[in-house]
Amino acid sequence: MMQLIDNGLLKRFDDFMRNLKSDDVIALYHDADPDGTCSAVIMAKAIERLVKKKVDFHAGRQKGEHYLSSEMADFFISKKVTKLITLDIAADEKPEGLLKAQKSANVLVIDHHKLYSNLNENSKVLLVKPQLLYHPVDPQQYCTSKFVYDLVSRHADVSDCDWIASVGIIADVASKMWVDFLTSVFKKYKIKLAEDFFKSLLGNVAHVISSAEVYDEKNVNLCFDVLYKSSQPKDVLKSEVCRFATFIDDEIQKLVRNAKSNAEWHFNDELMLYEIAPKHAVTSPLSTIIGFKYPSTTVVIMSEDDGRMHVSARRQDKKIAVNELLERAIIGFENATAGGHVAAAGASFYARDKHEFKRRIVELANNLSSSV
């Protein structure tokens, strides 16, 4: 049973919500995936109901930026933002931007990735993660959209957003922890339960949102707006976000088919290193699909864009913590980031470090797998 372990932190969150005022300039900065977008929409709705106006800014995380950069902080400062909320971004990993923004705004970070630095102890930034509030808890399963849904329900009625939280849960592969919740949502909206949540109507909503965001990061705001104005899941499936899925599906299916022959396989297929040159930013959804196909393989997918490598890693059976694998593989690289969950993580670094990165992945994966 999950127990509350830090009532003081929950009270600080409650105070943050209670102190939101209509003359605040409020900005949301969220991950550019379905969980991030869904959590931002739920937060935006709660705020609108509390202060009787829409949030002033909302933006998806920029490509390759795994935290809040100093430049992004400057942007929010220049807009005179007084309340800044980041969602589904491990912004505590590189907190420079947060520490800058906190000088002129109250900053709230809601996230479910690994805890990198407990900013509550040494800054004014309010950092809320499932593992800081509850024990025992699997933070990867307590995805941000459900976490935000539960947190803001303490202040506003967002029960009409239950299906949006569900889209985030399904997209973030966190259904296992929320079977009862999902079942009740499916019942409420008269949606047929599929054996696999991905194959249900809500899974389809997650799929079209993910595809639109992968097709072009400019679509992140479109997805936010469509979710915001949809009163039920079917509305999303009738909207303009749906047209991107076929392009992305074709590309992903081709890359899945070619993985067996085009990827490098090591250690009796315990490790797959797959370099791709995709038309769209499919690295992350592709790695999720391949990860499910090869659950006992460490899947590392890499693509180059604009002089930088973007990496997604998966290990479905969790025998290797891929967040630690990637974090260790980029040590000492200039301008590199890595992080995420035990079973799903990402990294980004300059293309010139690619060969050293691959060499280290093979070496680390060999050591880690032999220690299991």
Q: Which residues bind Mn ion (CB under 5 A)?
A: 35, 88, 143-144, 172
Check: CB of residue 119 under 8 Å from CB of residue 95.
yes
Residue type, position 360, single letter: R
Closest approach, Cβ 251 to Mn ion, in A, equals 23
Closest approach, Cβ 347 to Mn ion, in A, equals 16
Closest approach, Cβ 35 to Mn ion, in A, equals 3
Output 130 or 233, the one with its CB closest to Mn ion: 130
Closest approach, Cβ 112 to Mn ion, in A, equals 6
Closest approach, Cβ 200 to Mn ion, in A, equals 19
User: Counting Cβ atoms within 10 Å, is residue 32 exposed (0-12), middle (13-18) or buried (19+)?
Assistant: buried
Output 85 or 259, the one with its CB closest to Mn ion: 85
Cis peptide before 139 (omega within 30 of 0): no
E strand or H helix at 3: strand 3-4
The residue nearest Mn ion at its CB is 35
Q: Hey, is 208 helix, strand or coil?
A: helix
Other CB atoms within a 10 A radius of the CB of residue 80 amount to 10
Give 41's contacts (C-beta < 8 A, 6+ positions apart): 161, 164, 224, 227, 228
Closest approach, Cβ 313 to Mn ion, in A, equals 15
Q: Which residue has the tokens 């009740």?
A: 184
Output 106 or 312, the one with its CB closest to Mn ion: 312
> What is the widest separation between alpha-carbon atoms in the chain?
61
Check: CB of residue 240 under 8 Å from CB of residue 59.
no
Distance CA 93, CA 235 (A): 37
Distance CA 357, CA 330 (A): 7
